[in-house]
Amino acid sequence: MPNYSQNDYKKMLQNEQISSKMLETLLKAREEKIIDFKLIDIREIYEYTDASIKGTDILLPTSAMHLHMNLLEEQKNEHIILYCRTGNRTGHVMMILKRMGFAKISHLTYGIMDYRGEILRGAPLPNKL
């Protein structure tokens, strides 16, 4: 892994579009406690249990998002990276959340389908829904 400064990581988080490689780098930096952010999967439960990105903090399916807005509101001041299957859902959700005042939000550009980092199969849900 290249040597990045904390400032470099912060600049990465300022991008709306996060590539697979960038997310791998950011997750490693978070693991080393260099930076912090929340990784949120907005796919459905069955999609999450089939495959999820190691390091996912919150599962918040778009079909039930309106029922769990408190989970998002609690994260409003933290940087959030959203992901879905291909990046389509997260692009729409990101625009809505920005209109709601979420300023520090990005998404995995091409979703989990393009992610080359560690994928978990059959992982337990990261939060209660």
pLDDT, one tens digit per residue, over 41-59 is 999 999 999 999 999 999 9
**Could you tell me the fold of the domain covering 6-120?**
Oxidized Rhodanese; domain 1 (3.40.250)
- 128: pLDDT confidence band, cut at 50, 70 and 90? confident
Q: Could you tell me the pTM of the whole model? A: 0.95
- pLDDT surpassing 70 at residue 73: yes
Q: Is the pLDDT of residue 1 over 70?
A: no
Specify burial of residue 101 (Cβ count, 10 A radius: 0-12, 13-18, 19+).
exposed
According to the model, what pLDDT value does residue 3 have?
Answer: 84
Q: How far is CA 96 from CA 27, 45, 93, 103, in A?
A: 25, 21, 5, 11
CA-to-CA separations, 26 to 18, 36, 56, in angstroms, rounded: 10, 9, 12
